[in-house]
Chains A and B, each alone.
Chain A
Amino acid sequence: MVTYSLLIRIIALTIASISLVGCMGLGSKAASMRVELEAGHVDNAYAIAEKEDSSEKEVLASLNKGMLRRMKGDYQGSNKIFEVAKNHIEELYGVSITEQAGALIVNDTLRSYVGDRYEQVLLHAYMAMNYIQLDDLDSARIEMKQADVKMMEWGEDPEDDPFVRYLSGIIYEALGEMDQAVISYRLAKKTYESTTEKQNIGVPALLKKDLLRSLASAGFNDELRILKKEFKMGKFNPKPVVKGYGELIVVLNSGLAPLREEVSIRAATSRDIVDFVKIAVPKYPQPKLSYSARLIASNRAVAKLEKVEDIDALARAALSKDLPVITARAIARAVVKHETQETAKERGGALAGFIATVANVATEQADTRSWISLPQNIQMARVRLPVGMNKIRIEIYNASGMLVDMINKQVLVKSGKSTFLTEHWLVPNMGMRAVAEKNRKL
């Protein structure tokens, strides 16, 4: 009788933990949303994301909703849900004792998801880009200040995001605050240099020009001279925007961030075949090839887009930084779980031990959650175009230089002002023939 009740308890525990796990991980909805994104079906992905988490309690679901709303052009709605995510992240500040305990007994997905640090600062960057699209530069400026406070809290360099610094500079410059822009551009340069190990981008040529231009305009002549030498750009002569021309800043969110996968091992704890523990940790598969882009205006190539943020690399760096802790926790969990198996076997016999093992194996899951609607990388171009309506085209090329897609847009360039275009491009979605045909017609 004792054995029977123990058995029932173990079964109940199994069912309970499996159902608990089912609602916590990346989730089947998020996974199917990602499948739609990879197929280039933004509308379907959007519909799936909107159905999830109707009470707006989960950070991850809100982040995905926000990104998909912005892909669909709903910048206001995007910022509304991003704000929800931001507030939840703030509420979930600190380490939770109960969640940590849960992570030690069941698995890591019992911990609330607040996003990695790179995701948290990018949230501000995307909110700022939404405000830019809504023509509210003052609010975009506020977002960049919040990102700055966040990075300040984390301490020095390693956690700084160079693109966020760069974007701050661009926003300050668009607002006419050259003195602030200089500071942000300087910080961006410093951060690109200090994060080369993480992102391997180096100081983008675009930023070099922006920094030199802003130094010249703010009158920092000594620094200007030194940097011209350092950049080997001695001949660079910043020209003011000519009358009748305005600036277009293109930000292309290209591709999709990598997906975490689970890797698990089974360790035998005795010679008995049913006596083993499973240890599961997340990992990233091999990086996918990235795409390059060119900007065409009035039927001629005006700029090659330059990579300013490698989110793929940031995600990998974040995981490899956390992996020792994740692994230590998984091993500690295996010890706890093994203990329950032993107890069950001792008190309930071989069958109870077996059921406990099954339960433990079923609940052992790697935490594969991440903001999967982020792009693989962010590319940028700054060009000067004649004032008025301009037809522009962004052409996407694969690694072997083949044209795989294009985005056609109309932008209204204003005199002496910066116009922004923040686009998303996911995957090559046309056969080469269709692309060629489209090309011929234009």
Chain B
Amino acid sequence: MFVYDFRKFMSVLLLLGMVIGLAACQPVITRQDPNTVTDLSGKWNDTDSRKVSQEMIQDVLSQRWLSKFTSRTGQMPTVIVGKVRNLSHEHINTRTFISDIRRALINSGEVSFVASSEERGEIRSERMDQDLHASEASRKAMGNEAGADFMLKGTINTIIDAIEGEQTRFYQVDLTLIDLANNRMVWAGQQKIKKSVERSGVRF
């Protein structure tokens, strides 16, 4: 009698504990865009990054700066990635869409990239190392680096409006290509994303 009752009681308690443990529920997100996407918290995610890179790539390859440069110099432009400043309210990884854009541009065969200031250090030290240890034939000399013609820079901004339980998030990504010779902006790309996030005031 005692054993039976106690077990039954404990199992009910355990079940109750599990139910409480499972209780944390997610906010309800409504996306403004017709594309089907997976949104969990309403924060910047892979879908946003992909969306930005896709449209930016299309835009940057279709604009006239590219043909202008090639017809003027007869050469392929060389681009360096500068800083994309995050002025938003979220810790956003900007490298994902920047590397998407870079890859698309390189693969188009019409633009080449040089290592960014962050990457340069490692390559230079490798060259220094080659100077000491590599064979004469395979050694790469210093002072032969290709200088970039353009720098890709940008910002991410957000505007948030919120009241208890509800938020509208507006993201704007601006990218520009700046001619290093004369500071002229030859291309400006912009991508806007808007989301509304609704959170229930009651959870289980």
State the A residues within 8 Å of B (CB): 1, 4-5, 8-9, 12-13, 16, 90-99, 102, 138-139, 141-142, 145-146, 148-149, 152-155
Contacts and interface: CB of A to CB of B under 8 A. Distances in A.
Contact of B19 (A12, A98, A155): A98
B123 interface: no
Contacts of A155: 163-164
A93 B167 CA distance: 14
Nearest to B90: A142
Q: Is the interface of A mostly helix, strand, loop or mixed?
A: helix
Interface of B: 1-2, 5-6, 9-10, 13, 19-20, 23-24, 26-27, 41, 85-91, 158, 160-165, 167, 199-204
Contacts of A4: 1-2
B156 to A, nearest CB: 10
B164 A96 contact: no
A9 B163 CA distance: 47
A141 B161 CA distance: 18
A96 B89 contact: no
Contact of B23 (A13, A96, A139): A96
A123 to B, nearest CB: 14
B5 A97 contact: no
A153 B89 CA distance: 14
A5 B5 contact: yes
Given A99-B20, A149-B160, A152-B162, A93 B199 contact: yes
A98 B204 contact: yes
A371 B95 CA distance: 36
Contacts of A95: 201-203
Contacts of B90: 142, 146
A20 to B, nearest CB: 9
Given A8-B2, A95-B203, A146 B89 contact: yes
B164 A16 contact: no
Nearest to A100: B202
A91 B24 contact: yes
A142 B204 contact: no
Contacts of A148: 89
Residue among B10, B20, B27, B167 with the highest chain A CB neighbour number at 10 A: B20
A32 B165 CA distance: 37
Contacts of B160: 149, 152
A9 B4 CA distance: 11
A223 B90 CA distance: 33
A148 B88 CA distance: 12
Nearest to B27: A93
Contacts of A138: 85-87
Given A1-B1, A92-B203, A142-B89, 18 more contacts: A8-B5, A90-B41, A91-B24, A91-B26, A93-B199, A93-B203, A94-B201, A94-B203, A95-B202, A98-B19, A98-B204, A138-B87, A139-B86, A141-B87, A142-B86, A149-B160, A153-B162, A153-B163
B93 to A, nearest CB: 12
B85 A96 contact: no
B88 A94 contact: no
Contacts of B158: 145
A1 B200 CA distance: 48
Contacts of A96: 23, 202-204
26 contacts: A1-B1, A5-B2, A5-B5, A8-B2, A9-B5, A12-B9, A16-B9, A93-B27, A93-B199, A93-B203, A94-B199, A94-B200, A94-B203, A95-B201, A97-B204, A98-B20, A138-B86, A141-B87, A142-B86, A142-B89, A142-B90, A142-B91, A146-B90, A149-B162, A149-B167, A155-B163
Contacts of A1: 1
Contacts of A98: 19-20, 23, 204
Nearest to A98: B20
A149 B5 contact: no
A16 B13 contact: yes
Nearest to A149: B160
A197 B78 CA distance: 61
B38 to A, nearest CB: 18
Contacts of B167: 149, 153
List the 9 closest pairs (A to B, CB-CB), nearest first.
A145-B89, A153-B162, A94-B203, A94-B201, A96-B203, A91-B24, A152-B162, A98-B20, A149-B160
A145 B90 CA distance: 8
Contacts of B41: 90
A97 B203 contact: yes
Nearest to A139: B91
Nearest to A96: B203
Contacts of A145: 88-89, 158
Nearest to A13: B9
Contacts of B163: 152-153, 155
Contacts of B201: 94-95
A278 B202 CA distance: 30
